Each structure stands twice: as C-alpha cells, then as structure tokens.
Amino acid sequence: MTTKRIARYGLLIALALILSYVESLLPVFVAVPGVKMGLPNIVIMFALYSLGVKDAAIISLIRVVLAGALFGSVFSMLYSAAGAVLSLAVMAVLLKTKRFSPVGVSVAGGVAHNAGQIIVAILVTETAQLIYYLPVLCISGIAAGVLIGVVSGIIINRLQKQI
C-alpha cells in the first residue's frame, strides 16, 4: 500500500467520521425512530466511484467500527454494519451495470441499508413483525438516497479528475 493510498484512506475515513458526528447532532425531524440522512454515505459513494468497491468497503467498515465505538453502542454498530454491507453490495452491482446515475445507485443503497438493518433487528429481537416497519424505512431511504445521490454526483464529477 502506497503512502498516497494510506493518506487518501485516512482523509476519507476522517471525513466520514466527521459526517457521522454531525449527523448524530442533527435533530430528527420525523416522528420515525432510526431515520437518518446518511451523510457519511457521501464519502462512501465518492470512494465507490473514484477508488473502487474494495477501497469503499474498507473505508465503510472502518467508519462503521469507529463511529460505533465513538458515538454508538455494540448494537448500533451491528445494525450499521449490516446496513453498510448490504448497501455497498447493492451499490456495487448497480455501478457495475453502468445503467444507473449516482442518484439511482444511492437510492438503491439507502433502501438496501434499511433492509439490512431490519433483517438484523428481526434476528436480534426475534420479532418478525418488525418487517412492517420496512415500508416506512424504504420511503426514508428513497428520500435520503436522492439527497445523498445528488450531492455525491456533484462531488464525484468535480473531484474525480483530481484523484
């Protein structure tokens, strides 16, 4: 691993952690628990498009662990990890098809993230009825995905030539 690559990882992980912290400070404007904008996913989207799936996965995993340790709990880390893995897998597949814009990739990632969290919640709590919460989370995943996709698309277009 080159020095440049290590520095790039460090910068992107630090930025994702800062966005995680900022997101934890923002009040939730909806009456639905667990709904977040997904600000750190701007960094993951940038890494996915600019550096590739492997690098994005490493950055995402490190961010989940560090953010969970700093701002959350073991359970929040577990839910976040499940969402991140499923989200990144879906986004990587859609990116590979080259048929989706960053907004489409982000929306699919947001919905997949929420689905991953619901799956883990069902397994942890042994409460299958949590599946009924998924449509609400899908709507929030779509809304957040559009926002994150638009911002990510702008950043990717402006900075990808720099990397």
- Distance from C-alpha of 118 to C-alpha of 16, rounded to nearest angstrom: 23
- Evaluate if residue 159 carries a pLDDT over 80: yes
- Distance from C-alpha of 78 to C-alpha of 58, rounded to nearest angstrom: 16
State pLDDT tens for residues 99-146: 999 999 999 999 999 999 999 999 999 999 999 989 999 999 999 999
Give me the pLDDT at residue 65, please: 95
pTM as predicted: 0.90
- Evaluate if residue 163 carries a pLDDT over 70: no
- Evaluate if residue 64 carries a pLDDT over 70: yes
- Distance from C-alpha of 21 to C-alpha of 66, rounded to nearest angstrom: 11
Q: Please give the CATH number for the structural domain made up of 3-159.
A: 1.10.1760.20
Give me the pLDDT at residue 71, please: 85
- Evaluate if residue 28 carries a pLDDT over 70: no
